[in-house]
Every structure is written in structure tokens, then in C-alpha cells.
Structure 1
Amino acid sequence: MTHESADLSADLSATRTLARGAVAARDRPLPERAVRAALAAIVDWTAVTVGGAVAEPATALRRGLLTGTGPCRLPGTRDGASAETAALVNGTAAHTLELDDIYAPGLYHPGAPTIAAALAAGERCGVSGADLVRGVVIGYEVGNRVASTLGAAHYRYWHNTGTAGALAAAAAAAEVLRLDVDRFAHALALAATTGAGLQQTFRSDSMGKPLHSGHAAQAGTVAAFAASAGFTGTPSVLDGEIGMGAVMSDSPSWDAAAAPFGPEFLVERTSVKPYPCCGHVFAAIDAALELREAGVRAEEVTSIEAESYSTALTVAGNPAPTTPFEAKFSIPFVVAHALVHGEVAAGAFTTDRLADERVTALMSRVALRPGAEFDEAFPARRGARVTVVGRDERERAVTVADRRGDPANPVTREQLDAKFRSLVEPVLGAERAAELRELLWNLTGVADVRSLPLEPA
């Protein structure tokens, strides 16, 4: 067996080129649009993390890991922890509510692991808000490139948030730590070999899916701190003959990894989730809500056809969910709920709503069909068409090419602020939530991220 040298000075592997791009970008100021996008991502992440912190996956982790003291905080609680434990718990909390952000071309949730790792490293080291923002931008850039390179072939079996997310987390923490090219590359290599997350976990009601995100955040944090102390990884772990691309995807080209970082950064292409469920169902929800707003009444509907891209039907085609978790991955359920109740909010995913006879009756009338136009546009665009037939035999249809929250159909700052308030105020209180939100939108002026009011008053 050939062993690779830890000296990366002449290495052209994907880990090296990604590290080189990240460190080279450090010499240039970030474009204002990238900063704004990163601030929005941090506001969104904080909202979903604080909201998720009081839910069972995160609370179970805190109980099991005996958190309570440490240099890093667990937003939404008064607990502290080590950097690696904080990354684990916060990364899990951020993915718990199914409301964390998306990078559509990578089939991937970047914010949950990336910002958890950046914050953990930042709080351990006491960095400025501007340094945290830069770490987030670089983490998104690396993770999004890796996730989109691995692509749909990877997503068939693996959860990109747990795999590519580990590299994103490592990049964010490495940038916060200002690692040189060699150590940055080693951090990425170590994260690549420790990331994980199986698609089978989506198929049942468990806490494993949000744990993928937490583990990715932890793996990346550990990789960055280990690399900072001289711990080495295998440079060709992404693009080697039995590396990540070959074993976990379809041996993709890593040429995109070598592209310069900026002036446009991929954090600017983030999708914000408006609904607390699987992103693959969003376009169908949008279409169903539009039909209802146009006058369609659930009690008059005799049949429904929902078309979307094939991956949406595979991941979220459950025709008869029996638990709130399963309902979040069911196009028939969310379409029926949208038509009956006129919304799909947190209250949709409860045992009472699953037992709602109006919803279950309508759900049984939903037929799913893959649409060639949506498959051709996927994964960059996530569309759907919902067609209903009423008792009068009239057929009405709505096509949504880009789901709400995607870059082509974005939420507004006001809508993001409303999402923040809805998730943070019940945990931190209205006054503290308002203070935190204002500081986050002005994070580049914060001298030390440890001063952010992340815990209840």
C-alpha cells in the first residue's frame, strides 16, 4: 500500500485546492452581498436552533452528555459545554424542527452544521462577529461545493448534511482559527473521513436525522482543532481512487473545487425554509395554498394529482403517515392539510391533525406522479404541480417552478424576522429576542461573539 506524505506543499488534491481557495480569499474583504447573505443565514440558524433547543432530540442529548458548564453556549439554554459538545448539540438542535436552510444544488442543509461549528470555535477563542461571519461564508462555500459535486448519486444513499456538512463545519472552524493552507487541508481531510449519515434514517420516526447534522458539526470542529495542533489527514480522501467521490458517489469530477473563491459566494444562493417539514414538499404546498386562495374548497375536491421531481416522491411520497415525523415527509399529507386548513405551520404536524378526518379523507385522494419538466430542472430548481378535480368535474391546476424561500422566490427580511420572533420569543422572551435579533443583523460590529445574549434572561 502506498502511503501519502503529510506535506501538502506540492499536492493538487481537492482538499488542497479547497484550502488554497479559502486561505487566498482571506486577503480580500468580503463583498457586501455575501456579508448580508451570511447575516441572514446566522439569523435564520439562531432562530431554528433556539426553537429546536427545547425539543426532545436536543434535550435528550443534553441529558445524556451531562452538559452544564464549558466555554461554549447552547443557545436557548443556560448550559455551557466544550466546543465539540456544543457543536454536536447545537448542530442537532438546528436540524430538529426541519426549518433550517437549504442549498438546493447540493441537496443539502448547510447552516445547521456550518454555523454550529463556527460558533463553537468562535466562542472557544473569543473571536469578533466579523470573524464569525467570514467563517460562515467560507464554510458554506466549501460545503456547498462538496455537496453539489457529490450530487444526486451520493444523496441516493447518504444524507449530504451529515457528509458534506462535516467538511463545511471543518472549513468554518478552520477559517475562524485562521489555519494556514496545509492545516486547513488536513482539517477537511479529517472531516471527510469522519462524516456520516444514511438515508435509511429518513424512513422511520427517530432522532437520527438531526443527529447527522450535529455529528457533522462536531466532526468538523474536532477536525479543525486537531489539525491546528498538527494532526494530519489523507489529502486525496475526496478524489482518490477509493476516496469519498468514488465510494460514496459516481466518481465525480472535482474540477469545481479549484475555482477561485468569490467575488460571488455560494452563501448567496441559500434557500430559507418557510414550512417546518421536508423541503421536497414545499412546491406542492405552495401550489395547494394557491389553489385554496383561488377558491378551491377541500370538501368539493374528488381527486388530486401532485407532480414533482422523482427524488421528492422517493423521499417524501409517504401516502399514509402515522406519526408527526412521517407527516413531514408526506406530500399527500401536506397537500391535503394545506387545502383543508389553509396553512402548513408547526401545528400541522401533531397527532390531532393526523387524526383529522377531513385531512385523512382528502389525503387518500392524492395521486403522485413524477414530472419530466421537474426532473430536468432538479436539483437546482424544485418545482411541483398540483391538479384538483371538483364535484363539478372542473379541473384546476397550479404549477410552481421555484418553491417559496428559494433564491428565485425568496422570503423577505420581514418574513425572516417574523420567523425569528415566532421561534425565539417563546424561549428567550420578547425583549431578549429583539435584542439578539438586532445584534445578529449587525454582527460585524460585535467585538466578541461571547457577548451575544443567547441564553434566557
Structure 2
Amino acid sequence: METFMERRDFLAQTAAAVSATLLLGSFRTDRYDFVGSALAAGSSDSPKAALEQRFADFALALRYEVLPADVIQSVKRVLLDTLGCAFGSVGFDPANIAETTIRKTFGEGNTATVIGYPRPATIEGALFVNGVLVRSLDLNDTYIGTEPLHPSEVLPTAIALCEENGRTGRDLIEAVVAGYEASMRLNDAISFIERGFHPLCAASYGIPLIAGKIWGLPKEAIANAVGISGARGFTSFVVNSGAISMMKAMGLAATATDGVFATRLAAQGFTGPSGTLDWLVGVENETRQRGFCR
């Protein structure tokens, strides 16, 4: 008891001292200046400073005109397959609950189509429900890299944002390829499962590329968006363990909503961290050895 009282007194006195310092105006806020962007957070030749920049460079360099014909055909096939999965899920509980909830959360909107439902919604609302629809039946397109991934779940983001911004079919294909490729390359390079995370974490790096490309953002904004989204995008693999709950259907939908919000922030000048994968064990060596940085 005596030790407890001593600690409590110490904490109380410390709090009082800090409060007094703040009130006297001697607190130095210049210690907490933020970096200008994810690109400025490290030296330009540092691998951990370059990852977000490389993603941004990749997205901006991608053009429909240089895409191989088989890639374009594959995107069209995946689009049809993904829409089929979504329509097949309409009316089931996960989508119905999601559709009701997004209107209470984001409000009514007239921006983007909610697949299979009569009323449109806000961007975040539509891409969330559509993401749940795509995943619910567990039949959507799968990529087997280091571990299984469903990159087709990035399509609802591309579709909703292209609809909002009046983009063409070619713009849609470009955005899908950017999100798909980034997610698959990261999935090739890193095992998320062995670290306790879900492979859908890879899409937290692909979603900002989709949004940034459709919105026509500059490299710095896209790099910051990737940093923000990547830092927040680590979903536990527990969603695929044991008794499977409805959350399995919303995992990437939630990541996509978060990634779009991250891109909105970055578009307004909000900065994100660099090296967002460095804390994973041995990630720099893995990305080199498995070819991600080639």
C-alpha cells in the first residue's frame, strides 16, 4: 500500500508539473514539427524511404496504351466475374446489414451505385457494401502468391471512384491494374500469415494507387496516401480462423474504405510515414530476395 501511494503521489506531482509548464508557455512545440511528406522522411537512397515512392511512381507510369492485350482481357474477365459474385450475394445478411449501416454512418448519397440495391450511396458507403458483396460467397478471383489473396476485392473501389469522377473504361482498367499489381507484388514478396496478419493487408498499398490515379494526384500525395493506408492496414488473420464470422466478408472492404480516406487526407496535404513495412521481421531482405524491388 505504501508503494502504491508513493507511485500515485509521484504521478500526481508529475502531472501538476507538466500542466504548469504548459500554462507558462515554455513547452517547445518546434520539437514536434512533422516531415513534409513520406518522401522526406528518409534519405532518397534508403530502401525504407523509397517503398512508398516506388508505389507512386508505378501507378503514375501505368498507361492503358502500353498494357499487353492479354492483361486488358484479363481485367475485363475479372470485372465480369467480380460483378457476378456481387450480384449473387445481394439479399444475404452481410450485405443487407452493411447497406443499412452505411446510410446511418455516412448518410445518404447520390454518388455511386450500390450493386443490387435501389439507392446509390456515398463513395465510402458504396465501395464498402460492394466490397462485402464481392467477398460474401467466397467465389471471387484468387491469386496464389506467397499465400492466397483475393485482389479482385479492390475492384469496388475503382468502380465507385470512376463512376463518381466520370472516368472512361480505359481509366477503370488502368486503376484496376495499378491496384491489382501492387497487391499481388506485395503478396509475392511477404508472408503476412506467418506474422499473424491477413494477406488482404497487401491491398492497403493498392487502394491508394487506385484512388490517387483516378483523382489525378501528384506523386507526393500518392506516396503519403500509401504511407497512411499502409500503416493502418494490418488486419489480424483471426478473421479466417475458427468459426468464420461475417467479418471475413468485410475485411478488405474496410481496408478499402480506410485507404480512400487516407488518400483524401493526403490530397489535402496530410503527410504519411515512410518505411511502413520495415517493422515486419526481415522485410527488407525478403523484398529484395523475392524480387519485389526489381
The TM-score, its normalising length taken from structure 2, stands at 0.77
8 Å Cα contact 2:158-2:210 kept in structure 1: yes
Aligned pairs (5 A) from 1:221-236: 221-236=260-275
After TM superposition, the structure 1 = structure 2 runs for residues 102-251 of structure 1, keeping only pairs within 5 Å, are: 102-106=142-146, 107-112=148-153, 114-151=154-191, 153-155=192-194, 157-161=196-200, 163-202=201-240, 203-239=242-278, 242=279, 245-246=280-281
Residue aligning to 1:29: 66
**Are residues 1:258 and 2:293 paired?**
yes
Structure 1 portions without partners, runs of 5+: 260-457
**Larger helix proportion, structure 1 or 2?**
2
Distance 2:124 2:285 in 1: 31
Percent same amino acid among aligned pairs?
Answer: 23
8 Å Cα contact 2:131/2:156 also seen in 1:
yes
User: Aligned in 2, Cα 1:189/1:210: closer, same or farther, shift over 3 Å?
Assistant: same
**Structure 2 gap segments, 5+ residues each:** 1-30
Q: Give, in angstroms, the shift of residue 35 of structure 1.
A: 0.7
Question: Deviations for 1:281-325, whole angstroms, at most 9, x for unmatched residues?
Answer: xxxxxxxxxxxxxxxxxxxxxxxxxxxxxxxxxxxxxxxxxxxxx
Tell me, in whole angstroms, the C-alpha distance in 1 between the residues paired with 2:205 and 2:137.
23
Deviation at 1:76, TM superposition (A): 1.2
Aligned residue pairs total 250
C-alpha distance after superposition, 1:153-209 (max 9, x if no partner): 535521112x11222222222222232221121121111122232222221131111
Q: 1:22 to 1:205 in 2, by over 3 A?
A: closer
d(CA) in 1 for partners of 2:243 and 2:252? 17
For 1:180 and 1:78, the matched residues in 2 are separated by 36
Q: CA deviation at 1:84?
A: 1.3
Which secondary structure state, in structure 1, belongs to the residue aligned with residue 149 of structure 2? coil
Q: 1:229 to 1:257 in 2, by over 3 A?
A: farther
**1:9-39 CA distances to partner (integer Å, 9 max, x unpaired)?**
7634211112112212348532211111111
Give the structure 2 partner of residue 60 of structure 1: 97
Contact 1:196 1:212 in 2 (8 A): no
Inter-partner Cα distance in structure 2 for 1:47 and 1:156: 33
The answer on whether the counterparts of 2:55 and 2:182 sit within 8 Å (CA) in structure 1 is yes
Q: Which residue type is aligned with residue 92 of structure 1?
A: V
Match of 1:327 in 2: none
Secondary structure at the residue paired with 1:236?
coil
Contact 1:21/1:258 (<8 A) preserved? no
Displacement of 1:223 in angstroms is 2.0
Q: Which of residues 15, 22, 34 in structure 1 aligns to 2:52?
A: 15
Amino acid at match of 2:244: D
Q: Distance in 2 between matches of 1:230 and 1:156?
A: 32
Separation in 2 of the partners of 1:83 and 1:96? Answer: 20
| Conserved 8 A contact 1:115-1:169 | no
**CA displacement at 1:118 relative to structure 2:** 0.8
Deviations 1:101-151 (A, max 9, x none): 111004211011x11111121122111111011000111111111222222
Letter in 1 for 2:39: L
What does residue 118 of structure 2 align with?
Answer: 78
Corresponding residue for residue 378 of structure 1 = none
Q: Distance in 2 between matches of 1:145 and 1:56?
A: 33
Counterpart pick for 1:6 among 26, 37, 47: 37
Q: Distance in 2 between matches of 1:82 and 1:59?
A: 16
1:406-445 equivalences in 2 (<5 Å): none
Structure having the larger proportion of residues in strand:
1
| RMSD of aligned residue pairs (Cα, Å) | 2.4
Instruction: Sort the Cα spacing of 1:74 and 1:155 in 2 relative to 1 into closer, same or farther, 3 A.
Output: farther
Distance 1:175 1:99 in 2: 28
Task: Tell me, in whole angstroms, the C-alpha distance in 2 between the residues paired with 1:47 and 1:83.
Answer: 21
**Counterpart of 2:213 in 1: which secondary structure?**
helix
1:422 matched residue in structure 2: none
**Are the equivalent residues in 2 in contact too, given 1:83–1:120 (CA < 8 A)?**
yes
In 1, the alpha carbon distance for the partners of 2:97 and 2:129 equals 10
- After TM superposition, the score normalised by the length of structure 1 is 0.51
CA contact (8 A) 1:171 1:184 kept: yes
